[in-house]
Structure 1
Amino acid sequence: MELNIKNELEQLGATIKTDLEKSNIELKSEVKTQLDALQGQFDQLTAKNADIAAKGLTFGEELKNQFSSTNPDVLAKGFKFELKASVLKPQADINPEYKPGITGYANRKVNARQLFAIGSTSSDAVKYVKESGYVNGAAIKEEGVISGESSFAINQETALVKTISTHLIVSKEMLNDVDGISSYLQNRVPAKLAEKEDQELLFGTGDIKGVAVTAVQFSGTTLTMGSGATVNQYDVLRVAINMIAKADYTVSAILVNPTDKTKLELAKSSTGEYLFPSGNMSVAGVPIVESNAITEGKFLVGSFRDGAEIKERQGVAISYYPSDGENAKKGLITIVAEERLALPVYHNGAFVAGDFTSAMAKLKS
């Protein structure tokens, strides 16, 4: 009995061993098959990436190729891409750099007030006495003879203090949500107010009399070039300086439009040589100031520091009114920018104004 049991156990062990060996062989075969399939997919993906890099395909182009594929595995299993910055480039930067503040505007580079002396006043008007004529009778006096008589005329002038003002209406949301809106308003609004101030200081005809309006108008009678002479804009400015010099004033600046300064710099002789130096031009030592405060074709030559003065009652101030009208109901804010000033013109003869075309014609006559 014991012998039979031993034989049966040995047969059972041999059978189990055979079954295990068979299972290991089948398992290894199945694993190898799966590994081979994965290696094939990896090789296919590597070749695809190399092809994309070689062709420089965009993501859209490769996607189109895959959709048009007739490969059943592609259609059944789908497809994927490994996005590389050097190969598949995005159409737009999804993290753009943001520049704070508000751009897209430029302020006038030179304003008229930069040429004048600036003082202050606490009154609503500036009164001053202005000489309007002087007859000089001074001469060598002989003994027993009456000396020569001199006379003068004076007038009291009044320059009224006037307000230059503007206002804007903005929403509270804009002030809170738009980056840089406060600094923009504090910069842009006074700059635009200064443009209106330019108009008044130079060409005002109301309570503020502009210096170009009260100035002596250009005349060629002080110096005639002759009918055969070639006259240019430089000649006009030099004669204007001479007119002011003859009135015993010292010219501090020449104000012209940028286009007229450009014409001066581009003027050439008959042989093509430039007549005047470029850059910081001057006429007889007087600097030429270019500004859009004066219109093209016109000029203003003057003793700005001595001939007139800006008297400020109030400098530029910006005020915010959230309760103006129905602002509180509508969530709006009224912004007011204003200044108060006067312009006494002490010496009319300290300024000469005109336009280049008529001035050149006068010099030719």
Structure 2
Amino acid sequence: MKMMTKSAASAAAIIAAASAGAIRVPAGVVGTPRMDAAGNVEKLLGEVKSELARVGDEVRQTAEDALKQAKSAGDLNAETKEKADKALAEFNGLSGALMKLEGKLEALETRNLDLEQTVAAGGRGGGAPSQTVGQELAGSDELKAWVTGGLNGNLVLKPKAAITSVGGSGGGLIWPTEDRTPVNMARQRLPIRALLMQATTDSDVVKYAKQTLRTNAAAMVAEEGTMPESAYGWTQAEANVRKIAHVTNISDEALADAGQLESAIDGEMRYGLDLEEEAQILAGDGTGQNLSGLVTEATAFSAAAGLPDTTRIDRLRLGMLQLALANYATTGITLNPIDWAAIELLKDTTGRYIFGDPNVSKTPMLWGADVVPTVTHSAGEWMVGNFMMAATLYDRQAAEVQISSEHGTNFVEGMKTMRAIKRLAMAVKRGSALVTGDFTFA
């Protein structure tokens, strides 16, 4: 609620004081605003100053008469004293009101402008006529009583016609902020593809030779001795190009009315392809149109005898050992984020984190190998490997999104169909370069 103090209420005091008969103010300053008031500001101000000068002269004359009477008679008679008090009160009241006269006249100009706008609009409006804050204060009983009491002390007025944010007040000029950037659902990180060797193909099948035999008979031979014979063999293998695809339907109106919709759906459909690709690369079972994934082709974990195998760290280190015994160096570890968090939370006997200060940001690593947490792995499942040597991913057709009305009854129903397609093949050439297992402990 707005508070109106004595200083701010002076303009309204002029009106109330004039109504009470305490001050004679030019008629143009009070009452309903005249249409020409804005053009007579200087004239009105001159009239009020002239009135103040007149009252000042009366006060001075009365004071001189009182001084003479006091010198001759030693005291003032009741009539002179009453006249002096009345003149002084009138002078003080008019002087205080004049201090804010310019503010009153400025408000008058604003009211005239509002009135002109109302007239220009044809005087249209509904309900009872609105009352400004100044009009409300000028007619208040509290202000009239304050003027009658001699304008003494401070006056605090609480106008009811305050400007607020509700409709019909200032609320009509308040517009909501509109953020047209859509808030999309979270997207999963897809790190597995980046671990593999990547190539392209222009065919529907990739053929390659895979060594299946190595009999090494190399030995020390004496001069003119018979050399032992080694044997080697390769077998042709192939990886078929597979297609990942999906469609969605959108109305013509939705596409026309939402400018961002087509690009948003395009992004979502491409993400959908990549999400399925990630799942196929890691765990495709090789049946039907599925890829044969890394976990499917990897060597099953088999713990070496006589070594510790009671924690997740133990288990992963034993998996790396198994890989090393197969003549491969581990370059990466993949596992579910839950299992990686469990490893990072391990503490020593003094309560300190084994992996050091949690405030230090660093690339996840374990035993010198990069750790790749991904929710594509099931909780409790892990894999260690030399991924570059293990598999090659062949791109036949990069992700492509198309839109058309030529599908089913789309044309007569006013619909569009968007489809997204990508084609690829994956060859796991060295399944022995991967070891997979779980964190189940006996």
Q: TM-score, normalised by structure 1?
A: 0.72
* Cα shift at 1:148: 2.9
* Cα shift at 1:332: 0.9
Equivalent residue letter for 1:213: T
CA distance in 1, matches of 2:270, 2:141: 64
Task: Confirm or deny that 1:256 pairs with 2:335.
Answer: yes
Equivalent residue letter for 2:239: A
Task: Confirm or deny that 1:318 pairs with 2:401.
Answer: yes
Q: Size of the alignment, in residue pairs? A: 298
Match of 1:243 in 2: 322
Q: Any idea what SS the aligned residue of 2:161 has?
A: coil
Match of 2:203 in 1: 123
Match of 2:434 in 1: 351
Q: Any idea what SS the aligned residue of 1:329 has?
A: helix
* Cα shift at 1:170: 1.1
CA distance in 2, matches of 1:321, 1:46: 76
Q: Any idea what SS the aligned residue of 1:143 has?
A: coil
Q: What pairs up with 1:202-217 in 2 under 5 angstroms?
A: 202-205=282-285, 206=287, 207-217=290-300
CA distance in 2, matches of 1:246, 1:327: 60
Measured against aligned partners, the alpha-carbon deviations of 1:71-94 in whole angstroms (never above 9, x if no partner) come to: xxxxxxxxx622157xxx999995
Match of 2:419 in 1: 336
Deviates more, 1:100-109 or 1:117-126: 100-109
Task: Confirm or deny that 1:301 pairs with 2:384.
Answer: yes
* Cα shift at 1:180: 2.0
* Cα shift at 1:176: 2.2
Deviates more, 1:130-139 or 1:116-125: 130-139
Match of 2:372 in 1: 289
Inter-CA distance 224–179: structure 2 relative to 1 (3 Å threshold):
farther
CA distance in 2, matches of 1:257, 1:124: 33
Measured against aligned partners, the alpha-carbon deviations of 1:19-71 in whole angstroms (never above 9, x if no partner) come to: xxxxxx9xx89x69x75xx878426399899547xxxxxxxxxxxxxxxxxxx
Inter-CA distance 144–179: structure 2 relative to 1 (3 Å threshold):
same
Equivalent residue letter for 1:237: L
Query: Would you say the 8 A contact 1:101–1:181 is kept in 2?
Result: no
Q: Any idea what SS the aligned residue of 2:427 has?
A: coil
1:270 aligned to which of 341, 349, 371: 349
Match of 1:135 in 2: 215
Q: What pairs up with 1:1-365 in 2 under 5 angstroms?
A: 41-42=137-138, 44=140, 51=158, 81-84=161-164, 94-205=174-285, 206=287, 207-221=290-304, 224-225=306-307, 229=308, 231-277=310-356, 279-357=362-440, 360-361=441-442
Measured against aligned partners, the alpha-carbon deviations of 1:292-315 in whole angstroms (never above 9, x if no partner) come to: 221111112122212111111111
* Cα shift at 1:352: 0.8
Cα RMSD (Å): 3.3
Inter-CA distance 128–83: structure 2 relative to 1 (3 Å threshold):
same
* Cα shift at 1:133: 3.4
CA distance in 2, matches of 1:289, 1:259: 12
CA distance in 2, matches of 1:93, 1:138: 93
Long gaps (5+) in structure 1 = 1-24, 53-79
User: Sequence identity, in percent?
Assistant: 27
Inter-CA distance 231–174: structure 2 relative to 1 (3 Å threshold):
same
Match of 2:41 in 1: none
Structure showing greater radius of gyration is 2
Equivalent residue letter for 1:306: M
Deviates more, 1:290-299 or 1:150-159: 150-159
CA distance in 1, matches of 2:183, 2:141: 48
Equivalent residue letter for 1:256: L
* Cα shift at 1:237: 1.6
Query: Would you say the 8 A contact 2:136–2:161 is kept in 1?
Result: no
* Cα shift at 1:265: 0.9
Inter-CA distance 259–92: structure 2 relative to 1 (3 Å threshold):
farther
* Cα shift at 1:230: 6.7
Q: Any idea what SS the aligned residue of 2:318 has?
A: helix
Measured against aligned partners, the alpha-carbon deviations of 1:248-301 in whole angstroms (never above 9, x if no partner) come to: 223222111111111111112233221224542212211101112211111121
* Cα shift at 1:219: 0.9
Q: TM-score, normalised by structure 2?
A: 0.60
CA distance in 2, matches of 1:230, 1:306: 27
Measured against aligned partners, the alpha-carbon deviations of 1:175-233 in whole angstroms (never above 9, x if no partner) come to: 22224222212222111221211121111112521011110011102x532xxx57211
Query: Would you say the 8 A contact 2:392–2:427 is kept in 1?
Result: yes
Query: Would you say the 8 A contact 1:107–1:188 is kept in 2?
Result: no
Q: Any idea what SS the aligned residue of 2:417 has?
A: strand
CA distance in 2, matches of 1:122, 1:249: 31
